[in-house]
């Protein structure tokens, strides 16, 4: 499976001290193959691998994670991206009833989903109604009625014994009925064929026009392979879909459909169907699915813990620095800026502390551009200047400004800020009851 392939790839990276360009290329190649073998659509594979390479090479080298962990983290995050990032909720009509139409191939799990959705929505306090607009197969209406019975939800269906009804007319009538009977959500089950055909698509489009749905949900069997793309495209173009449901995720799905469908349809995956029972159903969470595809729940936990521990370590170091008062140099100042920027919460915390008003501007200015400028300025100083900024006279200021591509005014501003911060460090040391205005005892 894709999970096995990926963990095999990551195992090879374990124990590497640094990732070379060649390591990254080899890893990217293997991941590309693994995705293709899992039937992920080619454009998705391409953009996935490109993003992976760029990020692996890029500057985001973490000090908390080893190279294998970094790659896993990037792959995990890119998987989440491909799967749509955040979960999206159902769109409800401003004026009830909200109409949800289901579309998809025969056997994809539409009727089962209809029952699941109805039960789930009822559990949330809605008054849903099911509509049997699949009149193609003799048993389809009955199947929906059984599911409706289990969900405790009314099923709107043509009277039995009237011959084959017109699904478009049934769908249209059902909306009127729902309005009269105060049903706030109408779920329209439709017929599917084994393959895509014109007639089926035309019927689905007619039903859509008759009920003007708020959501057209495309149901796709997660077990299907390369066909997923063609099917998704056909429904996208033939009916127009607003969301996707992956069904049969309890099976041994290779992941291809899941990873392709969002990209191909341009629409979010809303729910996941994971079994035959009405309860086997949940809102789709891209992050959980990504973890599932990676199949490395414990590794991901480890990565999170490593990062959290690293942050805690940084916080501690910074506190010592903060209390170091007089030893506080421009080098420390830079470290501190880096640390503050990395941990938004600390910046917020600092702002709330008494006596921090002088630093407020400095904290607020921590946008990327400003940060880069400050970094450049400090880097353009000699070690002696960094250790003892008092020696930075006018000509040194001009040299530093030229060297870092800023104005002398920028240099002045930074030095003023630094002096303020240094003063404040002393005060803080005093506030915390440290002797010598904050000098740490050895
Ligand atoms: P439809 O033709 O699109 O309406 O598909 P159905 O809802 O009738 O489902 C076809 C078959 O797949 C039925 O036997 C369902 O019980 C089964 N099925 C549907 N969803 C799932 C699922 O999430 N997991 C599993 N294991 N089976 C499912
Ligand atoms: Mg059906």
pLDDT digits (tens, 9 = 90+) for 238-249: 999 999 999 998
Instruction: Report the nearest-CA residue for atom 11 of ligand 1.
Output: 107
* C-beta of residue 280 within 8 angstroms of C-beta of residue 78: no
Specify whether domain 321-438 bears CATH 1.10.260.30: yes
- What would the pLDDT profile of 19-42 be if each residue is shown by its tens digit? 788 888 998 999 999 888 888 899
Residue 278: predicted pLDDT: 95
Nearest bound ligand to CA 136? Answer: 2
The CATH 1.20.120.140 portion of the chain extends over 2-82
Q: Identify which of 278, 354, 308, 292 has the alpha carbon closest to the alpha carbon of residue 119.
A: 278
- Confirm or reject: Cβ of 115 under 6 Å from ligand 1: no
Q: Which has the higher per-residue pLDDT, 318 or 115?
A: 115
Report the first-to-last Cα separation within the chain, whole angstroms.
57
Distance CA 359, CA 361 (A): 6
Binding residues for GTP: 104-111, 189-193, 247-250
Q: Flag whether pLDDT at 1 surpasses 90.
A: no
Q: Phi then psi for 351, rounded to 5 degrees?
A: -60, -30
Which of 247, 278, 281 for a ligand 1 pocket mutation test, highest count of atoms within 8 Å of Cβ? 247
- Confirm or reject: Cβ of 276 under 6 Å from ligand 1: yes
Which of 112, 135, 193 for a ligand 1 pocket mutation test, highest count of atoms within 8 Å of Cβ? 112
Residue 147: predicted pLDDT: 97
For residue 85, the CA-to-ligand 1 centroid distance in Å is 27
Provide the strand spans (E) within 93-213: 98-103, 128-133, 154-156, 185-190
Q: Flag whether pLDDT at 210 surpasses 90.
A: yes
- What are 103's strand-pairing partners? 218
Nearest bound ligand to CA 147? Answer: 1
Residue 82: predicted pLDDT: 92
* C-beta of residue 98 within 8 angstroms of C-beta of residue 121: no
- What are 217's strand-pairing partners? 102, 243
- Confirm or reject: Cβ of 247 under 6 Å from ligand 1: yes
- Confirm or reject: Cβ of 291 under 6 Å from ligand 1: no
Over residues 350-376, mean pLDDT = 60
Q: Flag whether pLDDT at 411 surpasses 60.
A: yes
H helices within 38-109, ranges in order?
42-57, 67-82
Over residues 435-442, mean pLDDT = 37
Q: Please, which pLDDT band fits residue 297 given cuts at 50, 70 and 90? A: low
Given the DSSP bridges, would you call strands 281-283 and 269-273 parallel, antiparallel or unpaired? antiparallel
User: What is the average pLDDT value for the chain, to the nearest integer?
Assistant: 82
For residue 97, the CA-to-ligand 1 centroid distance in Å is 26
- Confirm or reject: Cβ of 109 under 6 Å from ligand 1: yes
Residue 422: predicted pLDDT: 76
- Confirm or reject: Cβ of 279 under 6 Å from ligand 1: no
pTM, whole model, 2 decimals?
0.70
Q: Please, which pLDDT band fits residue 359 given cuts at 50, 70 and 90? A: low
For residue 93, the CA-to-ligand 2 centroid distance in Å is 25
Atom nearest to 106 CA in ligand 1: 2
Which of 139, 189, 249, 276 for a ligand 1 pocket mutation test, highest count of atoms within 8 Å of Cβ? 276
Weakest-pLDDT range from 133-147, 184-198, 286-300, 361-375? 361-375
Specify whether domain 2-82 bears CATH 2.40.50.500: no
Q: Flag whether pLDDT at 345 surpasses 50.
A: no
Distance CA 90, CA 88 (A): 7
Q: Phi then psi for 85, rounded to 5 degrees?
A: 75, -100
Q: Flag whether pLDDT at 436 surpasses 90.
A: no
Residue 339: predicted pLDDT: 64
Contacts of 314 by beta carbon, 8 Å cutoff, 6+ apart: 339, 342, 343
Residue 356: predicted pLDDT: 47
Binding residues: 104-111, 189-193, 247-250
Instruction: Report the nearest-CA residue for atom 9 of ligand 1.
Output: 109
What's the CATH class of domain 98-285? alpha beta
Q: Which has the higher per-residue pLDDT, 84 or 358?
A: 84
Rg (CA), the chain: 30
Distance CA 132, CA 254 (A): 32
Residue 223: predicted pLDDT: 87
Q: Is the peptide bond before 159 cis (omega within 30 degrees of 0)?
A: no
For residue 280, the CA-to-ligand 1 centroid distance in Å is 11
Q: Flag whether pLDDT at 103 surpasses 60.
A: yes
Provide the strand spans (E) within 87-161: 98-103, 128-133, 154-156
Residue 238: predicted pLDDT: 94
């Amino acid at each position: 499976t894709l999970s096995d392939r990926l963990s095999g790839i990551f195992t090879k990276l374990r124990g590497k001290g640094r990732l070379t360009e060649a390591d990254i290329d080899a890893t990217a190649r293997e991941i590309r193959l693994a995705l293709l073998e899992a039937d992920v659509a080619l454009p998705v594979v391409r953009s996935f691998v490109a993003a992976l390479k760029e990020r692996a090479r890029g500057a985001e080298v973490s000090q908390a994670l080893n190279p294998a962990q970094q790659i896993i983290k990037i792959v995990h995050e890119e998987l989440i991206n491909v799967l749509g990032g955040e979960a999206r909720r159902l769109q409800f009509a401003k004026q009830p009833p909200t109409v949800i139409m289901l579309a998809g191939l025969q056997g994809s799990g539409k009727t089962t989903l209809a029952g699941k959705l109805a039960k789930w929505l009822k559990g949330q306090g809605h008054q849903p109604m099911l509509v049997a607009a699949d009149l193609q197969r003799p048993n389809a209406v009955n199947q929906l009625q059984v599911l409706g019975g289990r969900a405790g939800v009314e099923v709107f269906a043509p009277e039995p014994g009237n011959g084959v009804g017109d699904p478009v007319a049934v769908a249209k009538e059902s909306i009127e009925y729902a309005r009269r009977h105060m049903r706030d959500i109408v779920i329209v089950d439709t017929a599917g064929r084994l393959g895509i055909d014109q007639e089926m698509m035309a019927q689905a489009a007619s039903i859509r026009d008759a009920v003007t749905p708020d959501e057209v949900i495309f149901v796709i069997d997660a077990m299907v392979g390369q066909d997923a793309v063609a099917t998704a495209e056909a429904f996208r173009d033939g009916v127009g879909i607003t969301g996707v449901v992956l069904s049969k995720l309890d099976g041994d799905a290779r992941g291809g459909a899941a990873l392709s469908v969002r990209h191909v349809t341009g629409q979010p995956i809303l729910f996941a169907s994971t079994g035959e029972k009405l309860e086997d159903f949940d809102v789709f969470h891209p992050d959980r699915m990504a973890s599932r595809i990676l199949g490395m729940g414990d590794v991901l936990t480890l990565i999170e813990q490593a990062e959290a521990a690293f942050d805690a370590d940084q916080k501690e170091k910074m506190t010592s620095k903060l209390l170091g008062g007089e030893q506080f140099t421009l080098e420390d100042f830079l470290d501190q800026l880096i640390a503050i920027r990395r941990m938004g919460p600390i910046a917020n915390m600092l702002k709330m502390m008494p006596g921090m008003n002088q630093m407020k501007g400095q904290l607020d200015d921590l946008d990327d551009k400003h940060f880069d400028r400050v970094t450049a300025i400090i880097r353009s100083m000699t070690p002696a200047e960094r250790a003892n900024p008092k020696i930075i006279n006018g000509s040194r200021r001009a040299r530093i400004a030229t060297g870092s591509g800023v104005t002398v005014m920028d240099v002045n501003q930074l030095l003023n800020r630094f002096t303020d911060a240094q003063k404040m460090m002393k005060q803080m040391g005093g506030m915390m009851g440290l002797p010598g205005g904050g000098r740490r005892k050895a």
